[in-house]
Amino acid sequence: MALRESGEDYLESIYVLSERQGIVRSIDVAEYLGVTKASVSKAMTTLESNGYVEMGKRDVHLTERGLEVARQMWERHCFFVGLLEDAGVSAEVASQEGCHMEHCLSEESFEKLRAMLGRDGASAPIMTD
Amino acid sequence: MALRESGEDYLESIYVLSERQGIVRSIDVAEYLGVTKASVSKAMTTLESNGYVEMGKRDVHLTERGLEVARQMWERHCFFVGLLEDAGVSAEVASQEGCHMEHCLSEESFEKLRAMLGRDGASAPIMTD
DNA sequence: ACGTTTTGTGAAACACGGCTAACTTTTAGG
DNA sequence: CCTAAAAGTTAGCCGTGTTTCACAAAACGT
């Protein structure tokens, strides 16, 4: 089953939170994304059954497969947010809108775009945002 | 009621088709977007009740309000498709993916991005694609 | 003018992704 | 320990936007 935009968002947030705090619980994801814990629970179930995450007793973590997607999403997130900020968009708006742009492109197209725009591949350090 | 991504797509396609062929029928929109005519029928009903389109006996056309949105979407479509093509993405893929990017940004952010990237505002001539 | 084909509509169903509410389970303080 | 708070799950609902299927209405060829 193909990953949807919302699934990618969940994976990305698990990635960011795990870098930030190590162990990630559903409630952390819920707060980060601004959804209810019920929504997270549902999403985790389908992400787990598709092999993107594994749920322990009190944590959730990415599988290899999930990590790959998550890193890619985070990379794109940083790219688009940086691009918009450079264009003069406020950090807050750039972050919101970048969140959507990151799901629009295939990997191939994204790489081509990044190559053309000459922004290097460095992702922003993960911090509270 | 705010316009959703799909509503914007419908308006844009009516705009493109009307430039191309004058009169636009539901079936044309359905074929253009690759959805069923039932979907178009339903979408037109809500777009009409929100003042974006008017339905005649055998055609559908944009109101002032709808035209404004449609032109804006088309402008963005051309911008993103052009950008991707310049990056080396095939016309077909660029068109597909540009279709999604065009809905991600606020008007303000889009203008800033366009200004920074220095692509002029000329939209591509409307042709079969 | 008639019948066929094309076009449009309406009803019912589905997938998705969110929500609330109620419940269970786990954690942690006293 | 034991209870209260926090975290997680489950069930059911909603809105959006599709679909299919059946039908209505219009257009068109002969």
Nucleotide with C1' nearest the B45 CA: C9
Q: Give, in Å, how far the C1' of D30 lies from the CA of B40.
A: 33
Q: Give, in Å, how far the C1' of C8 lies from the CA of B104.
A: 32
Enter the pTM of the model: 0.92
Size of interface A-B (CB pairs under 8 A): 62
pLDDT 10s digits, B8-57: 999 999 999 999 999 999 999 999 999 999 999 999 999 999 999 999 98
Listed as ranges, residues in chain A with pLDDT below 70 are 1, 120-125, 127-129
Rounded Cα gap, residues A17 and A54, in angstroms: 15
Nearest-CA distance A61 → chain B (Å): 29
Q: Is residue B119 very low, low, confident or very high in pLDDT (cuts 50, 70, 90)?
A: confident
**B6, B18, B27, B31, B61 from B41: Cα distances, Å:** 13, 17, 9, 13, 13
Query: Cβ contacts (< 8 Å) between B115 and chain A: which residues?
Result: 87-88
